[in-house]
Amino acid sequence: MSKNKLLSNYIDDMNRWRKFRGEGLIDMDNIGSYVEDIFDSLLSNLSPENIHSDGEASRSEVNARYRYLTAVYEDLKELGFDHTDMKYYL
Average pLDDT over residues 2-11: 88
Q: What tens digit of pLDDT does each residue of 36-87 get?
A: 999 999 999 999 999 999 999 999 999 999 999 999 999 999 999 999 999 9
Instruction: Write the CB contacts of 39 (distance below 8 Å, at least 6 apart in sequence).
Output: 76, 81, 83, 85, 86
Per-residue pLDDT at 88 exceeds 70: yes
Task: Specify the pTM.
Answer: 0.90
Per-residue pLDDT at 2 exceeds 70: no
For the four alpha carbons of 44, 7, 15 and 85, in that order, the dihedral sign comes to positive
Q: Let me know: does 66 contact 51? Beta carbons within 8 Å.
A: yes
Strand, coil or helix: 45: helix
pLDDT, position 1: 47
Q: Let me know: does 18 contact 25? Beta carbons within 8 Å.
A: yes
